[in-house]
């Protein structure tokens, strides 16, 4: 199976120039990867604070338009005009796994996003965030800004919780997507996949689709000793995706735990003598901890510490109930996580093992971004009539 992003399904809509795009809080470039794969989009600026993530973005999409640094330090006069702004302001304060601290300063960074929208004046902007973002006080303030007299009063918002599996990712990852438009309200893209492949849609992609065929026993435990100069500083990499297939060295006790857990199982499958004290005392919740994936289902959400089975359902899916020799008792590798996030195999990476894992887990699955990009293109290019144009056409008729 090919592990490249699919080409855009339609080439009907074309402009005399590409759709210019700014990516804020760009990370390693998951959203940009999807929009570029949709064809017709040209990144002209990206902003990212984390050096390794910015270097990964630069290695794949170009260093000249990447601003590595604090978004608040980008002067207004340096913000170019653009057709589109995309990005996901940091969401740790909203995350179910975080502190849920409404005063977390990272939650304020969406205001910098608005500053860019005010100065770049895009036709459309897209915000990606965690599922709980729509219930946050920050989202309420964002909605207030599109009302009369607000900073974004020209724009109309559409927002919805999208499941990445419904758009071709082999992963049940839920994300809030907000589309702001000053060219008429834009609906969300229709799902292209569904669990059983009914109603003319394609079946969900599975863990098997993503990682089957990769070596079950990786030989390396470390990335190659390689550095390069990016932004005038030395940084590990670039590394090919094939070089990310690295294993850990679990203890004998960990291996014994892994061996007891079947596909779809977790810490509740462990015998008492293998339970940690916290697990023994916590009888409910955290059901995906020490979990094993299923071959023929999408994975659960790939987070930033996917290499730690105690953090979620991250054990390799191969497990034979009758033959222990046919069990793969290890967490997924960085390469497998990148595949489950739908990064193409030709993508290259910068950073340490931990930094690259963080980039993978924090990214928007490129195929989800691509589905959004393909959907937005005709609206931005003017191929879909605006509401006013529809009314005028009705009067003429």
Domain check: are 186 and 229 in the same one?
Answer: no
Tokens of 363: 């990214």
Q: What is the pLDDT of residues 129-177, one digit of tens each?
A: 988 888 888 888 889 999 999 999 999 999 999 999 999 999 999 999 9
- Of 26, 91, 152, 302, which residue is the catalytic one? 91
Higher pLDDT, 16 or 236: 236
Same domain, 116 and 36: yes
The predicted-structure confidence for 222-262, as pLDDT tens digits, reads as follows: 999 999 999 999 999 999 999 999 999 999 999 999 999 99
Confidence tier at 388 by pLDDT (50, 70, 90): very low
pLDDT digits (tens, 9 = 90+) for 85-141: 999 887 555 444 444 454 555 557 878 999 999 999 999 999 999 888 888 888 888
CA distance 81 to 69: 20
Assess if residue 12 is contained within a domain. no
Using CA atoms, how far residue 60 sits from 25, 165, 346, 365, in Å, is 16, 25, 9, 16
Most confident of 177-186, 195-204, 281-290: 177-186
Helix (H) or strand (E) holding 21: strand 19-24
Three-state SS for 129-161 is EEHHHHHCHHHHHHHHHCCCCCCCCCCEEEEEE
Q: Are 383 and 40 in contact (CB under 8 A)?
A: no
8 A C-beta contact, residue 120 and residue 80 = yes
234/320 same-domain check: yes
Does the pLDDT value for residue 387 go beyond 80?
no
pLDDT of residue 1: 56
Inside any domain, residue 3: no
User: Within a domain: residue 281?
Assistant: yes
Q: How far apart are CA 278 and CA 287, in angstroms?
A: 13
- 234, 187: one domain: no
Domain containing residue 356: CATH number: 3.90.120
Query: At residue 356, does pLDDT exceed 90?
Result: yes
Return all residues near 198 (Cβ < 8 A) that are at least 6 apart.
Answer: none
Question: Considering the domain boundaries, does residue 51 fall inside one?
Answer: yes
* Total number of domains in the chain: 2
- Nearest one of 208, 172, 212 to 193, comparing CA atoms: 172
Is position 91 annotated as part of the catalytic site?
yes
Mean pLDDT of 385-395: 50
Residue 129 structural domain: 19-208+361-396
- Residue 1 falls within a domain, yes or no? no
Q: For residues 61 and 391, what is the distance between their CA atoms, to the nearest angstrom?
A: 41
| pLDDT value of position 238 | 98
* 176 and 283 inside one domain: no
User: Which one has a higher pLDDT value, 389 or 143?
Assistant: 143
Does residue 221 share a domain with residue 81?
Answer: no
**365 burial type by CB count under 10 A (0-12 exposed, 13-18 middle, 19+ buried):** buried
Q: Any alpha helices (H) in 245-384, and if so which ranges?
A: 252-259, 277-281, 334-340, 353-362, 366-380
**Contacting residues for 147 by C-beta, under 8 A, at least 6 apart:** 153
Assigned domain for 306 exists: yes
2 in a domain, yes or no?
A: no
Check pLDDT > 80 for residue 66: yes
282-324 pLDDT per residue, tens: 666 677 889 999 999 999 999 999 999 999 999 999 999 999 9
What is the average pLDDT score of the chain?
Answer: 90
Question: Does residue 117 fall inside a structural domain?
Answer: yes
189 and 317 assigned to the same domain: no
Question: % helix / strand / coil in the chain, to the nearest 5?
Answer: 35, 15, 50
> What global pTM score does this model have?
0.90
- Residue 132 sits in a domain whose CATH number is 3.40.50.150
pLDDT at residue 193, as a whole number: 96
Question: Same structural domain for residues 105 and 24?
Answer: yes
């Amino acid at each position: 199976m090919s592990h490249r992003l699919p080409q855009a399904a339609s080439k009907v809509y074309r402009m005399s120039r590409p759709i210019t795009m700014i990516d804020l809080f760009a990370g390693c470039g998951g959203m940009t990867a999807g929009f570029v794969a949709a064809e017709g989009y040209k990144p002209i600026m990206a902003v990212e604070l984390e050096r390794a993530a910015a270097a990964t973005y630069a290695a794949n999409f170009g260093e000249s338009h990447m601003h590595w640094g604090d978004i608040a330090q980008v002067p207004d006069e340096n913000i170019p005009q653009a057709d589109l702004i995309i990005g996901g302001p940091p969401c740790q304060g909203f995350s179910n796994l975080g502190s849920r601290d409404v005063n977390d300063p990272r939650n304020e960074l969406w205001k910098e996003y608005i500053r860019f929208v005010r100065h770049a004046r895009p036709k459309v902007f897209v915000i990606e965030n965690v599922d709980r973002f729509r219930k946050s006080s920050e989202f309420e303030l964002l909605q207030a800004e599109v009302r009369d007299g607000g900073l974004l009063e020209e724009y109309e918002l559409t927002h919805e919780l999208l499941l990445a599996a419904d758009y071709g990712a082999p992963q049940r990852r839920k994300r809030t997507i907000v589309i702001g438009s000053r060219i008429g309200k834009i609906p969300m893209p229709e799902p292209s996949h569904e669990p059983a492949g009914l109603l003319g849609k394609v079946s969900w992609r599975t863990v098997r689709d993503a990682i089957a065929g990769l070596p079950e026993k990786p030989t390396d435990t470390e990335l190659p000793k390689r550095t390069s100069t990016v932004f005038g500083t030395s940084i590990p990499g670039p590394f090919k995706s094939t070089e990310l297939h690295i294993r850990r060295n679990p203890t004998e006790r960990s291996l014994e735990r892994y061996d007891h857990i079947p596909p779809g199982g977790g810490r509740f499958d462990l015998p008492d003598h293998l339970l940690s004290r916290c697990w023994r005392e916590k009888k409910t919740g955290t059901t995906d901890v020490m979990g094993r994936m299923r071959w023929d289902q999408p994975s659960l959400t790939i987070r930033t510490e996917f290499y730690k089975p105690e953090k979620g359902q991250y054990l390799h899916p191969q497990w034979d109930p009758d033959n222990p020799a046919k069990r793969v008792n290890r967490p997924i590798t960085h390469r497998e996580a990148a595949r489950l996030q739908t990064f193409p195999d030709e993508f290259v990476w910068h950073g340490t093992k931990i930094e690259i894992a963080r980039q993978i887990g924090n990214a928007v699955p490129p195929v989800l971004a691509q589905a959004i990009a393909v959907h937005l293109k005709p609206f931005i290019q003017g191929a879909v009539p605006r509401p006013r144009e529809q009314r005028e056409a009705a009067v003429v008729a």
